[in-house]
């Protein structure tokens, strides 16, 4: 049996490693960082189904988190939409989830090399799962965990001017607060940190004031800049999965699920390759075709809708209400997940 080498131990790389090991394929996984660690992510796994997580053997791990069922959307502090989520959405920190998956991969006999950076090389048997490649400098993503913040639904989405933020329940009573903002020079800086200051700057002062007295979990405050979304990246001769293949905008809450789904898609062709039944060039071609089939429509819909959360927050309130009441929530949810 041939060995599969994976660069990147986030959700895509780890879930691929786990599923290949369950099929008896030898796997070496290089992760530049270590576990556990906090990452910029809303940690709200929309679109995940029990069928997918059972297939990947991750259902027990997800039970360590919570399941979110309700959502309320606010535009500049005023409620515009309240909906139940079509499916319960797992909420679990990347601190917990990635570490648990890394542990499972090792238990299954995977060879995990942390602190090991590998470039995406067009080599046989190499899979690129290194996350989103650098994109435009105009977006910044911020996240932190808070205790002592009362929420009115499992997911609160807050739309502002040039940015939006979500509050979602995760394990042990923590609330994940994560936002995407147009990068700007902040006029006012307070001791509470960059996340509340960014919320203030995009007209979400009410939310910033709720966070300022709350306790922030040590080490959970993270930032990421230069983000590009939605397009398929296909470096020639390289098999890429997860965000390294295509990153969907964060408002969909679907990137984590897509990372799992891309592993679920790639595992078949890669197993045939490891068994010597498929050439490497055909493995790449087949996997890309399947990924395109699975994600093409979702990415196109997300690309069209990406400006909406920041634009809606700029409308006068009566118009926002009308727009909120006209949004076909379930239809959009289906198109984006």
The window from 43-51, 191-199, 214-222, 266-274 that contacts ligand FAD (CB under 6 A) reads 43-51
Q: CA quadruple 187, 188, 194, 196: dihedral positive or negative?
A: negative
Q: Is 41 in the site for ligand FAD (CB under 6 A)?
A: yes
The window from 55-63, 99-107, 238-246, 292-300 that contacts ligand FAD (CB under 6 A) reads 238-246
- Residue from 255, 309, 313, 324 touching ligand FAD (CB under 6 A): that is 255
Query: With respect to ligand FAD, which residue has the nearer C-beta, 230 or 278?
Result: 230
Q: CA quadruple 242, 247, 123, 30: dihedral positive or negative?
A: negative
The window from 104-112, 187-195, 252-260, 311-319 that contacts ligand FAD (CB under 6 A) reads 252-260
- Residue from 259, 274, 302, 312 touching ligand FAD (CB under 6 A): that is 259
* Phi, psi angles (nearest 5°) of residue 206: -60, -45
Residues in region 150-209 near ligand FAD by CB under 6 A: 178, 180
Q: Is 31 in the site for ligand FAD (CB under 6 A)?
A: yes
Length of the chain, please? 337
Q: How far apart are CA 158 and CA 170, in angstroms?
A: 18
Q: Are 39 and 74 in contact (CB under 8 A)?
A: no
Query: With respect to ligand FAD, which residue has the nearer C-beta, 4 or 278?
Result: 4
CB hemisphere CA count around 143 (13 angstroms)? 23
Site string for ligand FAD, 273-292 (x = CB under 6 A): --------------------
Q: How far is the CB of 14 from ligand FAD (least distance, A)?
A: 7
User: Which residues have CB under 8 Å from 302's CB, separation 6+?
Assistant: 229, 230, 248, 249, 252, 254, 336
Q: Is 250 in the site for ligand FAD (CB under 6 A)?
A: yes
Residues in region 98-127 near ligand FAD by CB under 6 A: 117-118
Q: Is 40 in the site for ligand FAD (CB under 6 A)?
A: yes
CB hemisphere CA count around 203 (13 angstroms)? 21
- Residue from 125, 131, 162, 203 touching ligand FAD (CB under 6 A): that is 131
Sites of contact with ligand FAD (CB under 6 A): 7-13, 30-33, 40-45, 117-118, 129-131, 141, 178, 180, 224, 227, 242-244, 247, 250, 253-257, 259
């Amino acid at each position: 049996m041939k060995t599969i080498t994976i660069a990147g131990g986030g959700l895509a790389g780890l879930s691929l490693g786990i599923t290949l090991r369950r099929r008896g394929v030898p796997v070496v996984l290089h992760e530049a960082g270590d576990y556990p660690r906090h990452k910029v992510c809303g940690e709200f796994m929309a679109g995940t189904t029990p069928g997918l997580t059972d297939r990947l053997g991750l259902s027990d791990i997800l039970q360590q988190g919570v399941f979110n069922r309700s959502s309320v959307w606010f535009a500049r502090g005023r409620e515009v939409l309240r909906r139940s989520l079509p499916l319960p959405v797992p909420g679990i920190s990347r601190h917990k989830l990635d570490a648990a998956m890394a542990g499972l991969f090792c238990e299954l006999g995977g060879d995990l090399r942390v602190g090991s950076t590998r470039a995406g090389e067009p080599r046989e048997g190499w899979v690129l799962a290194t996350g989103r490649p650098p994109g435009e400098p105009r977006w910044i993503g911020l996240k932190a965990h808070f205790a002592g913040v009362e929420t009115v639904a499992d997911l609160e989405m807050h739309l502002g001017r040039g940015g939006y933020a979500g509050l979602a329940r995760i394990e042990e009573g923590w609330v994940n607060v994560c936002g995407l903002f147009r990068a700007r020079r902040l006029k006012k800086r307070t001791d509470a940190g960059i996340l509340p200051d960014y919320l203030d700057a995009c007209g979400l002062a009410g939310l910033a004031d709720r966070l300022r007295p709350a306790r922030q979990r040590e080490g959970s405050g993270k930032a990421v800049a230069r983000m590009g979304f939605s397009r398929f990246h296909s470096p020639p001769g390289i098999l890429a999965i997860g965000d390294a293949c295509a990153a969907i905008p964060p408002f969909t809450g679907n990137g984590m699920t897509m990372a799992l789904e891309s592993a679920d898609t790639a595992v078949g062709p890669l197993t045939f390759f490891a068994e010597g039944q498929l050439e490497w060039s055909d493995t790449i071609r087949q996997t890309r075709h399947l990924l395109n089939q699975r994600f093409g429509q979702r990415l196109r819909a997300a690309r069209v809708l990406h400006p909406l959360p920041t634009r809606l927050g700029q409308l006068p309130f009566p118009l926002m209400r009308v727009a909120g009441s006209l949004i076909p929530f379930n239809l959009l949810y289906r198109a984006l997940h």
